[in-house]
Structure 1
Amino acid sequence: MKHKRKLLYVLFSLLIIMTAVILTGQFDDFDLDNRQTTDISFTADGNKLSGTLVLPSSEQPSAIAIFIHGDGPQDRFSNSGYLPLINTLVDNGIAVFSWDKAGIGNSQGNWLNQTMAGRADEAKTALALLREKYPSPSVSIGYFGFSQAGWVIPIAASQSSPDFSVIVGGAINWRDQGAFYHRIRLTQENIEKSQIDQQVAEQLQSYDAIFGINGSHDPASTPELSLDRFNFVDRNFLNDASQDIPTMRRRVLAIWGEDDLNVDAQTDACRYKKLLENNPNSTVVLVKNSTHGLLNASLFNYQLDSQWPWWKKAYFLYLGREGYTPHTLPLVIDWLKQQPIAIPKDWQPACSQ
C-alpha cells in the first residue's frame, strides 16, 4: 500500500511539472496555424522558387522583411528555427516572406550551383514582386538576412532600392571567415595555440592553392568535399563584400552577437562601421552575450545546429523567442518600424581609428 502511495505521489508530481511546462512554455512561437499565410512562387535563374508570406492579423503590414538564408540546404522556415523570430515580427505588424532554397522543399534547382550574385538576383526579384503586391509607400519592404546573407544583401541592396537591409552575423571576406571558423573549431578541441596558428596557416595555404585566383580548381584535391560542395566553394571563395557595403542603399542595420563562433564579429563590425561611415542611415550593433544567430550565448552557443544536445533543443522549444538575448528583438523591431532606438554603450563596437 505504501508503495502504491509513493508511486501515485511521483505520478502526481510529474503531472504538475508537465502542466507547468505546458502552461509556461512558448510553444506557440513554433506554430503558424493561427497566422494568415499566402504561398507565393517566383522564378529566378530559370528555377521556380516556392515561398510563404506570413502576415500580421491586420493584413496591412507596416513592413515586410524578405528573409535571406545563410549556408546550407534550408527550407523557408529553416527547419522551424525561424519561427520564434517570425512570430515576434508578425506580432509587431511586420510581415515576413521566405522561400525554400533552390532544390529544397518545393523549389527547383540546386542551391550548391549558386553564386552570391545569383542569390542576390533572387532577392531583387522577390523585392520587385512584393513591391508590385504592396505598392503603398506606407509599407516598407527590405532584406533581412543571416550569416552567408552578408555576401548576398550588400549586392542586392546596391543594385536595387530596398527600404531597409538587416544583416545578422554577416562576414565580409569569405577566406577570412573560413580561417576564423577553423581557428575556433581547433580552439574548442583544446589544441595548443602554436599548433592552431600552424594548422590555420596551412589550411589557408592549401585552399589558396586550390580555390585562389591561380589555384588548381581540381576537385580531386579535396576528396572530403562532394563535387557539388567543391564547386560551390570554388565559385564563392574569393567573395568579399567590402566593395558593395559602401554602396548599399537606404537604411542598413548590421548586427552581430559578440560571442559569435562562426564569424569574427568584433573585426567585421568595425569594418562595417568604416565602410558605412558615409551612410547616415546605417547602424552597427555588437550584442553582448549573444551568438551567431543572436540567441542567448549562455545557453545556445554552438557553431553548428548538429552540435546541440537534445535537451538544448527541447529547452529552445520551451523558451521560443525568450531564447534570444534579452532586448535584442525589441531593438530590431523598433529599428524596422523607424522608431527611436537606444543602443547600450556596451553594444557599440569599440574600434580603433
Structure 2
Amino acid sequence: MKLGSVVRRHRGLTIGAAIVALLLLVGLGAVVYADRANTYDLDEERISFRDGAQRLDGVLAKPTRGRGPYGLVVLVHGDGPKNATNDGFYRPQMEAYARAGYATLSWTKPGVDGAPGNWLDQSMEDRARETEAAIAWSRSRPDVDHARVGLWGASQAGWVLPKVAARTPDVRFLIAVSPAINWLRQGRYNLLAELRAEHASAERIETEVRRSDETRRLLQEGASHERYRAALGDAADMPADRWAFARRNFAADASADLAGVRVPVLLMLAGHDVNVDVAETEAEYRRLLGGRAELTVRHYPGAAHSMVEKDIEDSRVDTWFTAVFAPRDLFAAGYLGDQRRFLAGR
C-alpha cells in the first residue's frame, strides 16, 4: 500500500469521526434542551384519596416559592382515558397557576395506567361526586387556602363543573374550557362539523345523519349493545363499555346546573372547535349566568378544541417538536396568561 493512500484513508477516518462527534454533540444538546424545556417550576407530590370505596391516585402540584397556604385549582378531565397530568399536557397550566400563587390537584381516571375501576362506568353525576371527594380531601391540607378553591375543566367537564359549583360552597370560581351545553346537540354539531371539514358529499352527510338518528333512538330506548350492533351493522363503532357510557350520559344538559352557579366564571372558547358549538355555549352561559354570576369570556381564534394552535395540531411533526422542545407554545396565544390573570384577581 502506498503512503499517499494511507494518508488519504487516515484523513477520511478523521473527517468521519468528526462528523459522528458533531452529530453526537448536537443530539446531546437537543436532549439537554428538551429536558430543560420540560422542566417546570413546580413541587409535585403524589397523593391518594377516596370516593367511597374507589381509590383515586393523583398529583398535588404546588408553587416552589412562598410557604402557603396556596389557593387551589382542581382539574376535571374531559373525555377519554387520562392520567393525572394528561401525559404532561397539563404541566404548563399547573406552572401558570403556581405563578399566580395556586396549587393544582388532579387525579388519574379509574382504569387508566393501572388504576382500579373503569372511567366508562361513570355518569356525569359520578364524576361530580368524585370531584367533591377531591375537594373534601383538600380540606385536610394546611397548605391549601380553602377560601381560594376553584375548578378547571375542559370539554366533557362542562357537564361536571356546574353541578359541583352549584352545590359546593368551597368552590369560589370556575374556568370552563370548550364546554358544551347539551350532549345530543353537541354530538350532532360535531358530526356535521367534521363532515363539512372533510368536504363530504350530500349523500354521505344524509347517510351519516340517518345513522346518527338511529343511534339516538336506540339510546333513548335504552337498547342493549347487541341491539345497537344489529341495527347499525358495520357502522356500530362503539364497543360495549362505550355504548353503556353513552347510554348513561346522553341526556346530559348543563342548563339547570349553570342557572345555579353564583361564582365568577372564566369561559374560554376556541375559534376552530369542531367538537362544540361555541356560539351556543357562549349564548347560554351569558343567558344563564347574566346578572347572577360574574362571567369573563375569552376567545382564541387560532385554537382547536384542545386550545392547541390549530396549525400545530394539524401536523403530527409540529405537534411532536413543539411538545418536546417548547411545550408552553402548544397553546393558543394568551391562553395561559389569561388564566393566570384571572386567578390573580380572585
Q: Normalising to structure 2: TM-score of the pair?
A: 0.84
Once the two structures are superposed, residues 247-303 of structure 1 have per-residue CA deviations (whole angstroms, 9 ceiling, x without a partner) of 1231111212111232222332222222221234221222121121222222125xx
CA distance in 1, matches of 2:208, 2:292: 35
Alignment match, 1:271:
284
Of 203, 208, 216 in structure 2, the residue corresponding to residue 208 of structure 1 is 216
CA distance in 1, matches of 2:334, 2:207: 38
CA distance in 1, matches of 2:110, 2:49: 12
Alignment match, 1:219:
225
SS in 1 for 2:160: helix
Aligned partners of 1:45 and 1:118 also within 8 Å: no
Distance 1:3 1:133, change over 3 A: same
CA distance in 2, matches of 1:17, 1:266: 47
Alignment match, 1:156:
164
SS in 2 for 1:243: helix
Letter in 1 for 2:86: S
**Paired residue total:** 328
Distance 1:6 1:325, change over 3 A: farther
Letter in 2 for 1:174: W
CA distance in 1, matches of 2:100, 2:36: 16
Alignment match, 1:120:
128
Aligned partners of 2:271 and 2:301 also within 8 Å: yes
Once the two structures are superposed, residues 293-328 of structure 1 have per-residue CA deviations (whole angstroms, 9 ceiling, x without a partner) of 222222125xxxxxx635522332211112211222
Verify: 1:191 aligned to 2:200, yes or no. yes
CA RMSD of aligned residues (A): 2.7
Alignment match, 1:295:
308
Q: What is the CA-CA distance between 1:203 and the residue it aligns to? A: 3.1
Of 287, 292, 296 in structure 2, the residue corresponding to residue 283 of structure 1 is 296
Unaligned 5+ residue runs, structure 1? 302-307, 340-353
Verify: 1:249 aligned to 2:262, yes or no. yes
Letter in 2 for 1:211: L
Q: What is the CA-CA distance between 1:8 and the residue it aligns to? A: 6.2
Alignment match, 2:322:
315
Distance 1:22 1:79, change over 3 A: closer
Distance 1:160 1:216, change over 3 A: closer
Of 178, 202, 210 in structure 2, the residue corresponding to residue 169 of structure 1 is 178
SS in 1 for 2:104: strand
Distance 1:60 1:28, change over 3 A: farther
Alignment match, 1:108:
116
CA distance in 2, matches of 1:139, 1:9: 61
Aligned partners of 1:29 and 1:87 also within 8 Å: no
Alignment match, 1:350:
none
Aligned partners of 2:124 and 2:160 also within 8 Å: yes
Distance 1:250 1:134, change over 3 A: farther
Q: What is the CA-CA distance between 1:144 and the residue it aligns to? A: 0.8
CA distance in 2, matches of 1:139, 1:159: 16
Distance 1:273 1:103, change over 3 A: same
Aligned partners of 2:70 and 2:145 also within 8 Å: no
Distance 1:18 1:136, change over 3 A: closer
Q: What is the CA-CA distance between 1:205 and the residue it aligns to? A: 1.2
Letter in 2 for 1:219: H
Alignment match, 1:90:
98
Aligned partners of 1:131 and 1:141 also within 8 Å: no
Once the two structures are superposed, residues 153-205 of structure 1 have per-residue CA deviations (whole angstroms, 9 ceiling, x without a partner) of 1111111120111111111111111122222332343312x235424431331
CA distance in 2, matches of 1:249, 1:131: 21
Of 33, 38, 43 in structure 1, the residue corresponding to residue 45 of structure 2 is 38
CA distance in 1, matches of 2:143, 2:318: 45
Letter in 2 for 1:205: D
Q: What is the CA-CA distance between 1:336 and the residue it aligns to? A: 1.3
Aligned partners of 1:265 and 1:286 also within 8 Å: no
Q: What is the CA-CA distance between 1:55 and the residue it aligns to? A: 0.8
How does 1:67-78 map onto structure 2 within 5 Å? 67-78=75-86
Percent identity at matched positions? 25
Distance 1:101 1:3, change over 3 A: same
Aligned partners of 2:273 and 2:304 also within 8 Å: yes
Aligned partners of 2:138 and 2:144 also within 8 Å: no
Of 53, 57, 72 in structure 2, the residue corresponding to residue 64 of structure 1 is 72
Alignment match, 2:247:
234
CA distance in 2, matches of 1:37, 1:267: 38
CA distance in 2, matches of 1:133, 1:210: 46
Q: What is the CA-CA distance between 1:231 and the residue it aligns to? A: 0.5
Q: What is the CA-CA distance between 1:10 and the residue it aligns to? A: 5.2
Q: What is the CA-CA distance between 1:224 and the residue it aligns to? A: 2.8
Alignment match, 2:337:
330
Distance 1:143 1:28, change over 3 A: farther
CA distance in 2, matches of 1:234, 1:88: 37
Q: What is the CA-CA distance between 1:59 and the residue it aligns to? A: 4.1
CA distance in 1, matches of 2:25, 2:292: 55
SS in 2 for 1:105: coil
